[in-house]
Amino acid sequence: MSHTLEQTRNKQPMWLFERNYSYLRVIFPEIIDLHTSTLVYRDALKEVKVHCLEVSRYTTLIGLKLTFTQCPQIPPVEMTVRLYHDAEVADVISYQNITRLVAPYFSEEKETDKDHKRQANILLYELLSGCLKKRSIEIA
């Protein structure tokens, strides 16, 4: 008789959520103590504003707005992100006022285009990594 357990958890790595959290902490070091102020990152192309929506014991809910200053015809990107400080992960819970982002493991449909939650988190990753690359160029 075999005593192996079937692996049932999702095999998708958490590195994306962990990386988003660490990038937010590097770009906005004051984000842990954010309560009423707005934090701003600016470079030649874009402006990213972060403000606090809700603070609880282990989490902070933030609003993030990306505006392209050099391309005003592009509408701003708005996200709501929950920061889990104990697990050190960041998760997009709302994107462009779409508040029900369903993760693929809760959805009946397994199509790639239905995975809006993962795509929103990848977009946050791309945005934050672009800020860090630009920041390291300006510092150097």
Is 3 within the bounds of a domain? no
Is 1 within the bounds of a domain? no
102-118 pLDDT, tens digit per residue, is 555 444 555 544 577 88
pLDDT-derived band at 33, boundaries 50, 70, 90: confident
Is 43 within the bounds of a domain? yes
Q: What pLDDT does residue 138 have?
A: 47
Q: Which residue has the higher pLDDT, 97 or 133?
A: 133
For residue 94, give the 3-state DSSP assignment. strand
Q: Which residue has the higher pLDDT, 136 or 89?
A: 89
Q: Which residue has the higher pLDDT, 95 or 134?
A: 95
Is 9 within the bounds of a domain? no
Element (H, E) at 63: strand 59-68
Find residue 9's DSSP bridge partners: none
* pTM exceeds 0.75: yes
Domain extent, residue 128, equals: 15-139
Is 56 within the bounds of a domain? yes
Q: How many domains does the chain have?
A: 1
* Mean pLDDT for all residues in the chain: 81
69-102 pLDDT, tens digit per residue, is 888 899 999 999 999 999 999 999 988 876 665 5
Is 40 within the bounds of a domain? yes
The pair of structure tokens assigned to 46 is: 């874009």
d(CA 66, CA 11): 31
Is 30 within the bounds of a domain? yes
Q: What does DSSP say about strands 77-84 and 59-68: parallel, antiparallel, or unpaired?
A: antiparallel
Is 62 within the bounds of a domain? yes
Helix axes 116-139, 15-27, angle to 10 degrees: 40
d(CA 103, CA 80): 16
